[in-house]
């Protein structure tokens, strides 16, 4: 599904109707660099891309292609470059996401921490 929200193009990738391969490749490279993994080990899937914000999933595989771990991620594009804002398996912190203006439908499950 594609629609326009003010001046931002919004891409909902849940139906695989949007090509996010370039963004996924850029985000994947950030994880390769961060975790010193071989480039074929992490797999990144953007679930939702809205303007300069992305939310998705990540899995790491061993040399045999077996999944050994996975996580969610939130990424933001600043000055044309992607940045991992938050990734993990636990609580999604609203405070961590807030400075990047993620849309509410991407952060509905975040937790406000005292």
Residue 9 pLDDT? 32
33 or 56, greater pLDDT = 56
The tens digit of pLDDT for each residue in 13-27 reads 444 446 889 999 999
The tens digit of pLDDT for each residue in 66-99 reads 898 899 999 999 999 999 999 999 999 999 999 9
CA distance 32 to 34: 6
Kind and range of the H or E element at 31?
helix 21-35
Beta bridge partners of 12: 48
* Entry pTM: 0.78
96-112 mean pLDDT: 95
CA distance 1 to 73: 21
**For residue 4, pLDDT beyond 70:** no
Q: What is the mean pLDDT of the chain?
A: 82
């Amino acid at each position: 599904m594609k629609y326009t929200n003010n001046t931002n193009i919004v891409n909902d990738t849940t139906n695989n109707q949007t090509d996010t391969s370039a963004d996924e490749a850029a985000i994947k490279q950030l994880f390769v660099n961060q975790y010193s993994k071989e480039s074929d080990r992490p797999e990144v899937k953007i679930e939702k891309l809205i303007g300069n914000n992305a939310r998705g999933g990540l899995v790491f595989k061993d040399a045999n292609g077996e999944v050994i771990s996975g996580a969610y991620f939130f990424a933001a594009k600043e000055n044309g470059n992607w940045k991992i804002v938050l990734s993990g398996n636990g609580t999604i912190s609203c405070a961590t996401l807030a400075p990047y203006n993620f849309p509410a439908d991407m952060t509905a499950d975040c937790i406000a921490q005292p």
